[in-house]
Amino acid sequence: MKLTFNNLPKISNNKFYAGMHWAERKKIKDNFAKTVYALLCVQTDRRKFERPCEVEYIFEFKSRPLDCSNAIGMVKMLEDVLFPDDGYKIVKKISVTSLLSVEDKVTVIIKEIE
* Distance in angstroms (rounded) separating the CA atoms of residues 47 and 94: 20
pLDDT tens readout for residues 61-88: 999 999 999 999 999 999 999 998 888 9
CATH number reported for the structural domain that contains residue 46 in this entry: 3.30.1330.70
- Tell me the pTM: 0.91
Give the residue numbers spanning the domain of 8: 2-112
Our count of domains for the chain comes to 1
Query: Does residue 13 carry a pLDDT above 90?
Result: no
* Distance in angstroms (rounded) separating the CA atoms of residues 12 and 18: 10
93 Rama sector, left if φ>0, alpha if ψ -120 to 50, beta otherwise? beta
73: exposed, middle or buried (C-beta count within 10 Å: 0-12, 13-18, 19+)? buried
pLDDT tens readout for residues 18-58: 778 889 889 988 999 999 999 999 999 988 899 999 999 99
